[in-house]
Structure 1
Amino acid sequence: MATEAAPMDEKAKRMRDLLSSFYAPDPSISTGASSTHASFDNINSTSFNADQYMDLLIKKSNLEGLLQRHVHMAAQIKNLDTDLQMLVYENYNKFISATDTIKRMKSNIVGMEGNMGQLLQKIMSVQSRSDGVNTSLFEKREHIEKLHRTRNLLRKVQFIYDLPARLQKCIKSEVYADAVRFYTGAMPIFKLYGETSFQDCKRASEEAIEIIIKRLQARLFSDSESIQSRAEAAVLLKRLDVPVDSLKARLLEKLEQSLDDLQIKPEEASKLMEHTDSSKNGESSDPHPAKVHEDAVREFSEAMHAYRVIFPDSEEKLFKLARALTAMQFENVEQYIKKRVSASCFLGISKLIWADVVLMDEVLPEAALSDFAAEAAQSTFKQFVARSFSHLQQDISDTLLKVNVDQKEAVEEEVLHSVVEASKKAVLQGSMNILQDFHQLLEENTGILVKMRDLIIGWVREGFQNFFRSLEALFLVLSGKTSSPNEAEGLAEGKPSDKVHAGFILVLAQLSVFIEQMVIPRITEDIAASFSAGGGAQGLADGPGFIPGELSRVFHSASEKLLQHYINTRTQRISLLLRKRFKTPNWVKHKEPREVHMFVDLFLQELGAIGKEVKQILPQGTFRKHRRSDSNGSNTTTSSRSNPLQHDRITRSNSQRARSQLFETHLAKLFKQKVEIFTKVEFTQESVVTTILKLSLKSLQEYVRMQTFNRSGFQQIQLDIQFLRSPLKETAEDEAAVDFLLDEVIVAASERCFDAVPLEPPILDKLIQSKLAKSKEHSTVSS
C-alpha cells in the first residue's frame, strides 16, 4: 500500500463507502468518522499507515516471525482474491439473469395492446347477443313462472284435501310424530281459509287430531311406556298447543324413579363382568348386559333432553338428577370393591360408568358431569388402591398363619421351610401382581383414567409405603413381640396365640431380611420406571410417598428384633429346663454321682431342635471354629476338663487345700486369657445356635451360683459339664467361648461347694463312657 492515499473525487469516495458498508465484516470501516478512531495497525482502515506498521512490526518481531507474518498475509491475500472473484461471478450471473428476464418481458408485452382490444370487442358482442336472448324469452319466462306458482298452489290444496286421510293412516300405524308434523304444517291455511273453502277438511283433521291427542296423553301417563316414549308424547302435545305444565312434576318424578333401575348394583356388577367375559369367549348367546345398560342410559339421556326442551326452566333439576346418578354409581362401586375384585373387573365397571357420564354430558354439557365424575371417582379409586394392598396383606397373613402345627411336626416335616418359601412368593409375587394391575389402569386412555393418572401414581407410591410399614407391624404382632394388637389394627383377621411357635418367629425374621434385600429394591425399580412421571409431587401432597431407604431401615431393624426375639424365646425355654434341674434336688445332701443326669439329654435335645429349625430357614455361614489357646503356654489353664484333674490325687483329708488350689488356678486363667463371649448375631445357622448356647451356659452358670453344693453335688456338676463339653464344642461355632463358659460353670460350682474335691479321671471317664454306650444303644433301638 502507498504511504499516502491518493486523493479521490467525491463520487469515488461515496461508492467505496457504500461497498465497504455492505461487504466489510467490521462495521467500523463503513463510516468516515470511525477511521479516526481505528488502530494504526488495522490494514482495512482508511487511515492505515504502512510505514508505521512496518516499523513497529520490525521492532517487535524477529526474522522468523516476519517470514511467518509474510506467509500468513500472502494466504489472506489469496483468500481475498478468491472471495472477490466468486463475488464477481455470482453478481455477474445475477446481472445476466436479470437482463434476460427484462428482454423476455419486453418481447411479451409487444402486441398485448392489440389483443386487449380484440378481447373487448368480443365481450361487447356476447353482451349484445345475451340481451337479445333475454328480450325474446321474457314473455315465455313469465308464463312459466306463473304456471309453476299455480302448480305449487295446487299441490298445497291437494295436501289439504288429503290431510284427513293421511292423519288416519298415521293413527293406524301409530306414527304420531308425522301426523303432528302434517297438521302443524296445514295450520296456517286452516287459519286463513278454514271457515270457507276448507271447512270440511279442517273439521275432519281436527277430529283425527283429537284422537291423536288422547292417545298421546294416554302414552304420557302410562307406566308401561318408556321414559323416551313419554317424553316424545309430551313434545308432540306441546307442538299441538296442548297445556302440559301440569305434567312437569309427574314426568320429573318418573325420571327420578328410573334412577334406581339405571344403577349398577354391587351384586349386579359381578354378574355383569362375568357375562362380559363369557360373551368375549363366545360362551353366551344372551344380549350383552353392558349393551342393555348402555341403551337404558341412552334412553334416560334422551328423556332428559326432551324434558329440557319441554321445560326450559328445569335445567337445574336435570343437573341434579344426572349428578345424583353419577354419585350413586361410584358409591355402588365402593361397595362392590369391598370384596376382592380384579383390576380388569374394576376397570370394566369404571369404563362403563364413564360411558354413562359421556352420554349424559352430551345431552347436558352445562352440568360439567365429566369434572363432577372425576371428583366423585377419587374416593373410589383411592379405596381400590388401598383395598388392593389390604388384600395382599391378608394373603401374606394367611400364608404365615398356616404354620399352626406342633413344634415337633414343624421341625421334622420341614414345614417351616415351605412356609418361608410360600411367604416369600406371596410377598414378592403379590407385590408384582399389584404393580401389574396398576400398570393396567395407567395404560388405559379412557377419559376418567387420564384425569386420575397423577392421583393413582401418588396413591400407589403412598400405598406401598403404608403397606410395608403395616407389614412390619403385623410381623411384630404375630411374633408376640408387640403385645398390643392395636398397633396392627385391621392387618390380620386372626390373632396370634399366646404361645407363639419359636420357629415361626424365625420365619418372620428371615422374611423381613428377604423384604429388605429383594422386595423393596425390586418395587423401587418398578416404581421409578413407571410411577414417578407427573404423579410423585401430587401424591406426596396427601401422604408420605414411597421412601425405600426408610423402609429398608425399618425391615432391617425388624429382622434384628425378630431374630433376637427368637433367640430369647429359645433361651427362655432352655432356662426353664435348667431352673427345674437346679431347684428340684437338695444339693447339700446330694448322693455320690452314679451317671450323667437326664437333664443333659433334654438340653441336647433342645439344641438339636434349634439346629433343625435354623437349617430349614437360615443359610449356612462360613463355619470357622474359634479354638481356645493359652496366652502363656502353661499347663495349668488348658481346659476345664483337665484343670481339676491336674491336681495330685487329693484325699478326703486335705479337701480344703485342693479347693484353694482350684480357686487359684481358675483365677489365674481369668487374668491370663481374654475370650470374647458375646458377639453380634448374624443371620446364619452357626451364629444363631452359638448365641443361644452361650446364653444358655450363662444361665446355667447363674443357677449354679444360686445353690450350695456338697462334694457329691459338685462332682455331679463336674460330670455333667464334662459330658456336655464334646457335643457342645462340635455344635458351636466359637469353641473357645463355649469352653470358657463351661469352665466358668465348674468354677462357680467349686466356689459354692463346701468340699470341692473333683472326681478321679478314671472314674470320670468310666461314667462318661457308660453314658455314651447307653445313648448309642438307645439310638440303635430307636432307629
Structure 2
Amino acid sequence: MEVEGGEPLDDKAKRMRDLLSSFYSQDPSSATTPATKSSWRYATLDTINTASFDADLYMNLLVQKSNLEGLLQKHVEMAAEIKNLDTDLQMLVYENYNKFISATDTIKRMKNNIAGMETNMEQLLEKIMSVQSRSDGVDTSLFEKREQIEKVHRTRNLLRKVQFIYDLPARLEKCIKLEAYSDAVKFYVGAMPIFKAYGDSSFHDCKRQSEEAVNIITKNLQGKVFSDSESIQTRAEAVMLLKQLDFPVENLKVKLFEKLEQYLMDLRLQPTETSKDSVDVEACSDQKEVPASVSSGAHEASVREFAEAVRAYKEIFSHSEPQLSKLAHDLIRKHFEATHQQIKKQIHSADLVEILRVIWTDVLLMDEVLPEALLPDLALQSARDALKDYFSSLFNRLLLGISDAITKAQVSQREGIHEEHYIQEALEASRDAVIQGSRNVLQEFRHLHDENSALLVKLRDLIVDWVQEGFQNFFRKLDGYFRLLSGKSHPDSQELNFVEKIPADKISPGLVLVLAELSLFIEQNAISKITEEIASSFSDGGIRGSEYGPAFVPAEICRIFRSSVETFLHLYIKMRTQKISIMFKKRFAAPNWVKHKEPREVHMFVDLLLQQFEEIGNEVKQVLPQSIHRKHHRTDSNGSTTSSRSNPLRDDRLSRSTTQKARSQLLETHLAKLFKQKMEIFTKIEHTQESVITTIVKLSLKSLQEFVRLQTFNRSGFQQIQLDIHFLKSTLKDISEDEAAVDFLLDEVTVGTAERCLDPIPLEPPILDRLVQAKLAKNSEQK
C-alpha cells in the first residue's frame, strides 16, 4: 500500500493503518477482499500487509516454501508481532480516547460562553435601530436648510470670483510695480477660464485691461531673459512664466542657450583659480586675496546655480537633453583642461587632490539634474588621463633633477672651471637626486593612493599599476638618457627630446665617468631601496593580469645598468686614449725624424703625456674605489713577465757602435721572441682606479708603438725616443698597477724605434741616467 504522496510506507506503518481501518470500519467486509482463484499463483508472502490478503493461500505458500523449523520460527515471529500490534492498538485507542474527552470538554465550555451572547446581540441590534431612526429624523429636518446653505455658499463663491475678475487689472498693475511677475502670472492664468467664457460680454473691459497689463509683463519678462545682469535662475524663471502665458518660448531657445554657454565660459575659470590659491598660500596671505576655501565655496554655489538652470531648461524645452548634455560635457572637459595646465606648472599631489575633489563635486551636482549625460563616466576617464599626465610629469621632473646634477661635470669642463673635486660633487649630487627624488615622487604617489575621495578610490588599483610601470619605464628612460649624454643613440631618443644631444667631440670624459659610477650605484643601491619603498605601499591591488607578470622588475633594471657600467667605462677609456693618441699624432707628425738633432733633454711631449695621466688619475680617484689586489711588479727571474727581448741580448745590442752589429742584433731579438712565453697584456677591466688607469696606460703605449712603426728615424731621433722611454720607465711605475706589462710595452716601443732606425746606436746608460736625473730635478723645482 502507498500513501497519497506516492511514497512507500514501512511495514509497521502499514500494519498500523490496516488495524485502524479494521477497528473503525462499519462494514467489516470492506476491509478485505478475497483473492480470486486465478491469483494464487502470483501471490507472495509479502501480501500479508495488503487489503487482498487470503489466509488460506498464505498458509499454502508458507507450507510449500518453508520446512518445519522455518514454520516454527515464523510462528514465534508472528506471535511476537501480534503481541506488539495489540499493544500499539491499545495505546492508540487510549490516545484517541483522551483526545475525544478533551474535545467534549472544549465543546461544553464553548456552549456555556455562547449562551449569554445571543441576548447581548439582540440588545445591540435594538440600539443600532434606534440610532438609525433618530439620524433619519435629523436628516429630514435639516434637508431644506442644507440646500439653502449650499446655494448661498455657491453664490458667495461666484461673487468672490466676480470680484476677483473686477480687481484683476489693479492687481496686475500692482504686481508690475513690485516686479512680482510670478504672482501676476498666477492671477492671470487663474482668470483665463472666465475670460474665455465671458470675456466678450460681461467682463469685456476687465479682459482688455488685463491683457494690456499682461503685455507689459511679457515685455518685462523678455527683458529679464536677455539681461546680462540677471542670474541664470532668474532667466529660467522668466522663461517658465512666459511659457505659462502661452508665449512662444521656442523662439527664445537659441538665445537662452547662448546665455547659458556664456555663463559656462565664466564658470570654467573657477577651478584654476582655486588650485592656484591652494598652491601659492603665502602669496594669497600677502596680497589679501580670497582664500581657497572661500573661492571653492563660491565655485560650488555657481555650479549649483548652473545645475538649477539646467533643471529649469529641461522642464521648459522639450528634447533639450542633448544640448544640455553637450554643455555639461564641455564643462567637465574644460575643468580637466585647466587641470592639465596646472599639472604643467608642477603642482603637488595635495593640490591635484583638491582640484579633483572640486571637479567630482561638480560632476555629482550636475548628475543629479542631468543623469542622461553620464558625467561620472566621462569624469572617471578624464581623471585617468589627468593622473597619467601627472605621473609622467613627476617622472620627467625627476629625470630633469638627475640631469641637472649630472651635467655639473659637463658644464664645469665646458666653461673651463677646474674645481678640485667637481666630478665627486657631481656624482654625490646625482646620487642624492636619484634616491631623494624617487622618495619624493613616491611620497606624492602615496598621497594619491591613500586619498579617500570617491574619484581616487575608483582609480586606486590603477595607481598601483601606474607607479610600478612608471618606475620601470623611468629607469629604462634614465638609461637611455645616460647613453644620449654620452653621445650614443638610443631607441627611446624621441621620448627624450628635451635632452640636448652633445656632439661626440664635446663630451666630457668626467661626465662619462660620472655616468659609469652612477649606473653602478643605481644597480647596487638605488634599485633595492626603491623596490622596498614600492613593496611597502604599492604592492596590494592593481588590475594588471597575472599572466603579464609584475609591472616593476628590479632584476631587469639591474641588468640594464650593469651593462651600462661596462659601456661607460670602456667609453671613458676610449675617450682618454683617443685624446692621448691625438697628442702622439701631433708629436710624430711635427719633426723630421730623419734629420733630428742630437737629444739634449727629455722632450716636453713626455710632460704632456704625464700630465694627461695625472689628470686621469685625479678623475678616477674622485669616484672609483681602490683595488684590493696587489700590484704586479716585474721580476727578472720570471720569464713570463720580462720583455720579449732578453736583457743581456738587448743591453749587448744597444752597446755596440756599428750599424751592422745593431741590425744583426735585431735578427737575434726576433728569434728570441719566438721562444719566449707569451705575456698577457690586456686583461678584463675592473671597476677600480688602478684597473682603469693601467688600461689607459697600456692602450696609450700600444698606440705609441703603432705611431713609432709609421716613422723612419736617424740615430738622434732613435736616441730621443730612447731617452723619453727611459724617463717614462721611472715615472710610470707609480701610476700603473701592472708594472711588468708597462715595462714590456715600453721596451716594445724602444725596440720598434730601433727597427725603424737607419743607424740604431743607443745612448750610453750613464748619459741616459744623467739626462733623466736632470729632468727629474727640473720637475721637482717647478713643483
Q: TM-score, normalised by structure 1?
A: 0.73
Equivalent residue in structure 2 for 1:389, among 385, 389, 395: 395
Counterpart in 1 of 2:427? 420
Distance 1:478 1:137, change over 3 A: same
Give the conservation status (yes or no) of the 8 Å contact 1:395–1:426: yes
**Residue number among 698, 707, 710 corresponding to 1:706 in the alignment:** 710
1:605 to 608, 611, 628: 611
Does the 8 A contact of 2:434 with 2:526 survive in 1?
yes
- Is 1:503 aligned to 2:510, yes or no? yes
The answer to whether the Cα contact below 8 Å between 2:275 and 2:355 also exists between their aligned partners in 1 is no
User: 1:61-72 to 2 correspondence within 5 Å?
Assistant: none
SS of the residue aligned with 2:506? Answer: coil
299-308 vs 154-163, greater mean Cα deviation: 154-163
Q: Who is 1:569 aligned against?
A: 575
> Does 2:224 align with 1:216?
no
1:239 pairs with one of 222, 237, 244: 244
Number of matched residues?
683
Is the 2:468–2:552 Cα contact (8 Å) retained in structure 1? yes
2:601 partner SS: coil
Displacement after TM superposition at 1:730 (Å): 1.8
Q: How does 1:487-566 map onto structure 2 within 5 Å?
A: 489-492=496-499, 498-527=505-534, 530=538, 533-537=541-545, 546-566=552-572
Decide which structure has the larger Cα Rg and report it. 2
Q: Distance in 2 between matches of 1:408 and 1:367?
A: 60
Alignment of 1:12-411 (within 5 A): 113=110, 173-181=178-186, 184=189, 212-264=217-269, 268=273, 271-274=276-279, 284-285=289-290, 288-403=294-409, 404-406=411-413
Give me the whole-angstrom Cα distance separating, in 1, the residues matched to 2:688 and 2:771. Answer: 35
Unaligned runs of 5+ in 2: 1-10, 17-45, 47-98
Closer, same or farther: CA 409–615 of 1 in aligned 2, 3 Å: farther
How far off its partner does 1:449 sit? 3.3
- 2:750 partner letter: I
AA of the residue aligned to 2:521: F
Given candidates 674, 688, 701, the residue that maps to 2:692 is: 688
Matched AA of 2:542: G
CA distance in 2, matches of 1:230, 1:305: 13
Helix, strand or coil for the counterpart of 2:241? helix
SS at match of 2:269: coil
Does the aligned pair in 1 maintain the 2:649–2:669 contact within 8 Å? Answer: no
CA–CA distance in structure 1, aligned partners of residues 448 and 714 of structure 2: 79
Aligned-pair CA distance for 1:515: 2.7
Structure 1 match to 2:25: none
Counterpart of 1:691, as a letter, is T
For the structure 1 residues 482 and 214, does the alpha-carbon distance in structure 2 shift closer, same or farther, using more than 3 Å as the test? closer
Larger deviation: 519-528 or 225-234? Answer: 519-528
Q: Indicate if the aligned counterparts of 1:330 and 1:380 stay in contact, CA closer than 8 A.
A: yes
Contact 1:666 1:747 in 2 (8 A): no
Normalising to structure 2: TM-score of the pair?
Answer: 0.73
Q: CA deviation at 1:227?
A: 1.6
Match of 2:87 in 1: none
Contact 1:193/1:199, CA 8 A, preserved across alignment: yes
1:744/1:427 Cα in 2 relative to 1: closer, same or farther (>3 Å)? Answer: same
| Residue among 732, 743, 750 paired with 2:747 | 743
Distance 1:304 1:632, change over 3 A: closer
- Indicate the SS of the match to 1:731: coil
How far 1:591 moved relative to its partner? 3.7
SS in 2 for 1:264: helix
Paired position in structure 1 for 2:782: 778
1:241 is aligned with what amino acid? D
Per-residue deviation, 1:709: 3.1
With 353-362 and 583-592 compared, the bigger mean Cα shift is at 583-592
Contact 1:276-1:289 within 8 A present in 2 as well = no
AA matched with 1:726: S
The answer to whether the Cα contact below 8 Å between 1:704 and 1:748 also exists between their aligned partners in 2 is: yes
**Take 1:196 and 1:170, find their aligned partners in 2: how far apart are those partners?**
26
What is the percentage of aligned positions where both structures have the same residue?
53
Contact 1:592-1:713 within 8 A present in 2 as well: yes
CA RMSD of aligned residues (A): 4.8
Residue 71 of structure 1: aligned partner: none
**Alignment-mate amino acid for residue 360 of structure 2:** W
Could you tell me whether the CA contact under 8 Å between 1:596 and 1:768 is conserved in 2? yes
In the TM superposition, what is the alpha-carbon distance from 1:719 to its structure 2 partner? 2.6
Compute the displacement of 1:770 (Å).
1.9
**Structure 1 equivalent of residue 439 of structure 2:** 432
Deviation of the 1:549 alpha carbon:
3.9
Q: Is the CA contact (8 Å cut-off) linking 2:380 and 2:455 kept in structure 1?
A: yes
Q: Which moved more, 1:590-599 or 1:144-153?
A: 144-153
SS at match of 1:354: helix
Is contact 1:640–1:746 with CA below 8 Å preserved after alignment? no
2:582 is aligned with 1:582: no
- Structure 1 residue identity aligned to 2:543: G
TM-superposed CA distance for 1:191, in Å, is 7.2
Partner amino acid, structure 2, of 1:449: L
The whole-number CA distance in structure 1 between the counterparts of 2:394 and 2:770 is 67
How far apart are 1:496 and its partner, in Å?
A: 5.4
State the shift of 1:373 in Å.
Answer: 3.1
Q: Distance in 1 between matches of 2:126 and 2:280?
A: 80
Change (3 A) 1:11 1:389: closer
Seen in structure 2, the aligned counterparts of structure 1 residues 638 and 689 have a Cα distance that, compared at 3 Å, is closer
1:727 is displaced (CA, Å) by 2.7
Match of 1:44 in 2: none
In 1, the alpha carbon distance for the partners of 2:118 and 2:606 equals 135
User: How big is the shift at 1:696?
Assistant: 0.7
Alpha-carbon distance between aligned partners in 1 of 2:609 and 2:708, rounded to the nearest angstrom: 16
Deviations 1:169-224 (A, max 9, x none): 75555444345446556666787899999999988877765654443333223232
Partners of 2:322 and 2:470 in 1: how far apart? 39
CA separation of 1:580 and 1:252: change in aligned 2, threshold 3 A: closer
Change (3 A) 1:386 1:653: closer
TM-fit CA distance, 1:742? 1.9
Q: Secondary structure at the match of 2:319?
A: helix
Change beyond 3 A, Cα 1:139–1:155 = farther
